[in-house]
Each structure stands twice: as C-alpha cells, then as structure tokens.
Amino acid sequence: MNLCSIASGSSGNCIYVGNSNTNILVDAGISKKRIEEGLCSVDVNPEKLDGILITHEHSDHVCGIGVMARKYHMPIYGTVETIAAMLKTKGVGRIPEDCFRYIQPDQSFMINDIQVNPFSISHDASNPVCYTFQADGHKVGVATDLGKYDEYIVSQLTDSEILLLEANHDVNMLQVGAYPYYLKRRILGDKGHLSNENSGRLIHTLLHDKMKYVFLGHLSKENNFPELAYETVKYEVEADENELARSVRIQVANRDIPSEFVSV
C-alpha cells in the first residue's frame, strides 16, 4: 500500500492511495494540471486512476473533480448527500451521471483489490466521510476535517500503518488572529477542524508497533505553521515517553508540492 499527498491544506486537498494494481484519489480540490503533475511525479498515469473518493463538498476538496471526470470519465464515489451538494458548488460543472458511485458510512466496498472503508466525521458538510484502505494485510488511513474525535474515530483508524491526519490550526494563533468571531467559533467547534494538540493526542492514542508514517495535513495558512504543527504534535505523541513513538516518522504534508511517496 502506498500514499502520497499531492496537496494538503486549507487551499486545496488531493491525496493518492494505491498499490501495484489500483490507483485512487481522495478528493480533488486543486486544478487538473496540478493533479496530473502530482500523479506523474510518482509514476502514476492519470488515465489509470480507478476512481476519486469524495470526503465532502467544500471547494478545497472538490474544485477539480468536474474537469477530471469529464476528461477521464472515472468513477466518483461519495455519499448521496455529498454528491448532491457538490453539484451545487460553484466551479465543479457538469459531471456525467454514470460516473457516480453512491456510498454509505460504515459500508465497506472494493475498488479492485483494495477494500475501502468510509466512516462518518464531524464536520459542517452534507453527510461527510473519511476513509481507510486495506489490502494485503496492510492499512492506510486518511482523515481530515475532523471537528472532534471520539471512540468511533479511534476504532476506524486503529491499526493504520500510514496515516494522514488533520493538524489544522494552533488554538492560540486562531484566537488572536484576524478571523471574524463566527469563523473562529466554527473552526474551534465540534463540526470544525482538529487542532495541532488534538491531532497529536489522537496519534498518541493510535500508536502501535506497525505504524510507520504519519503525515500532518490540512494545515491552515493563516492559523498555523508547518514547524509549529510538527513540534506540537511531536510533543503530544511522545507524551509519557511512549517507546512506540520512536518508530513513527512524522512529517507535514505540503500545500503546494507532493509529499514523499511512502509504502508499507
């Protein structure tokens, strides 16, 4: 199982997950050109994509889906509510109806030889989900736009060997920053985004002896810094001097360039 973050941040998100037989995108919130360039950088032909999984309809996750679907006519997976909301999103445009594959949270399905497991998340969107992937005894998790985490989220992400997890904001930067009060409340609320501290605490909870790579994703451009996210998360992950933290490589997913291509 492989993962590469093509782009991750409040300005656009697109994650590649796959193996030697199957190529999947999680979200397409950047331009077709950037998606194609990102895929080519890891030797994946865009014409070989087996589908795009939508987490939710916000433009930083879907703005490139329409043009990708029209060019490559690939399957587009999402909940009924997410797809309906996405089609009303400005800039997505027309998508052929036969591209859509409707999914439900907690109902796994196969894309070729990869089992895809959608699970519900707490975010201000229309029945949003995130995903884990399993094949050949390995598991990869991708989870962003989490207003909160609980035992359900932990149970979904447990045993992930590669994890891309949201570390959206530093609470202090957000509180003293220029955002209007209503937006600060939204981000800090249960249907908003996960802070650096909570991201680190969740990773600490998920640590196990086979976890190898953690990417910190969906960083806010205005309310976070990559170095701050990394140090804050690392501090939380290494709490109680947990020896399992030593074997995990933590890195920040860049908003503008593809990340390292990692495999388990």
What is the C-alpha separation between 118 and 99, in angstroms, rounded? Answer: 19
**Strand residues in the chain grouped as ranges (E):** 2-7, 14-18, 23-26, 52-53, 76-79, 100-103, 109-111, 114-120, 129-135, 138-143, 162-166, 213-217, 249-252, 262-263
- Taking the whole predicted model, whether its pTM rises above 0.85 is answered as yes
Q: For residue 241, what pLDDT is reported? A: 83
Q: What is the pLDDT of residues 29-86, one digit of tens each?
A: 999 999 999 999 999 999 999 999 999 999 999 999 999 999 999 999 999 999 999 9
State the DSSP code for 97. G
- For 80-98, b/e burial (b = at least 16 CB within 10 A) is eebbebbeebeebeebeee
Domains and CATH numbers, the chain: 2-256 (3.60.15.10)
pLDDT at 246 over 90: no
Q: What is the pLDDT of residues 7-34, one digit of tens each?
A: 999 899 999 999 999 999 999 999 999 9
DSSP β-ladder status, 76-79 and 262-263: unpaired
pLDDT at 166 over 90: yes
Query: What's the gap between Cα 224 and its chain centre?
Result: 17
Q: Taking all residues of the chain, what is their mean pLDDT, rounded to a whole number?
A: 96
Q: For residue 211, what pLDDT is reported? A: 97
Q: What is the pLDDT of residues 109-147, one digit of tens each?
A: 999 999 999 999 999 999 999 999 999 999 999 999 999
